[in-house]
Chain A
Amino acid sequence: EAQVTQNPRYLITVTGKKLTVTCSQNMNHEYMSWYRQDPGLGLRQIYYSMNVEVTDKGDVPEGYKVSRKEKRNFPLILESPSPNQTSLYFCASRRQGVTGELFFGEGSRLTVL
């Protein structure tokens, strides 16, 4: 089954404790991206990757890091989480050149106390 898998789905952590949210896709997609979803703000892009070893900032990259060492994986790293990073996070992927058709994971709800 074609899918984007995120882990963990739910996480409660404390300020400053580094965490990583993993994302893996089995569709051989070149493009991967991370979004955060907040009430009233919709989906905002954090980082994206056009291919292995190619990453770039989205609209709200502050406080986040990413890496793309393998085509299928695109982890999101919060080096020192803060309460304003409490949000619902989505990883998404698509084939390069395919217009707009993003495939999303089921989301990771993060709470930073």
Chain B
Amino acid sequence: QQQVKQSPQSLIVQKGGISIINCAYENTAFDYFPWYQQFPGKGPALLIAIRPDVSEKKEGRFTISFNKSAKQFSLHIMDSQPGDSATYFCAARATITGTASKLTFGTGTRLQVTL
């Protein structure tokens, strides 16, 4: 059962365009939503994250939009560059007990930015 649904599976965007990746969840216990970026041959690395008490977070060209009522969040990459070509994973955290938490990942989106 996929708790975090991510789309699209792959995305091709021209240089300078906007890349948009969407994620949806059902579990209302999720309380932290990070995005990870993975380059070929490397492990994922934290890119940007948001808590559900804000609707948007921006870091440079990367923006997370969060819609708590719809249980959806998305990553927007403005002015996409060939160096942004990577696989992007959304994730959601649920606290289990005390300091124990579990991170559930989406299925990933392979982004290709063309010249």
Footprint of B on A, CB under 8 Å?
4, 35, 40-45, 50, 90, 92, 96-97, 99-107
Contact = CB atoms under 8 A, between A and B. Distances in A.
Chain B interface size range: 20 to 34
Interface string B94-115: 0000011111011110000000
Interface string B31-51: 010101000011111100100
Grouping DSSP codes into helix (H, G, I), strand (E, B) and loop, the B interface class, with mixed when no group exceeds half, is strand
Contacts of B45: 103-104
A99 B93 CA distance: 8
B91 interface: yes
Nearest to B92: A100
B85 interface: no
Nearest to B109: A42
A104 B87 CA distance: 14
